[in-house]
Amino acid sequence: MDNRNCRRCLLQDIPGKEAEYYQSVLLYRRMLPSKQAVTDEIYESRLAACLECEELVGGVCLQCGCYVQIRAAAKKKDCPSPKGSLWKKDQ
């Protein structure tokens, strides 16, 4: 699979180098202090919203350039969609 054509994919779904980057995502989530991290339920909800977004390509948000799996893990981060956040406000 060519990740340039992978729309609405997360890192673990893309073979090659991106699969290696996913290991960094897992490490980041483990190292993120609990006060700064969202719960697993919120994290999965955020990623579900990202998977529906046209701005997700190859695990990257085209609005901010970040890996969505890293952005979704932190409480202080929000969805950068110009249409307004796609993440529920209570999350």
Summarised one tens digit per residue, pLDDT across range 8-63 is 778 787 777 767 788 888 899 999 999 999 999 999 999 999 999 999 988 899 99
Q: What is the distance between the alpha carbons of residues 34 and 11, in angstroms, rounded to a whole number?
A: 23
What pTM, to 2 d.p., does this model score? 0.83
Residue with tokens 């994290």: 43
pLDDT attached to residue 53:
93
User: Do 34 and 41 form a contact (C-beta atoms < 8 A)?
Assistant: no
Name the CA radius of gyration of the chain, rounded: 13
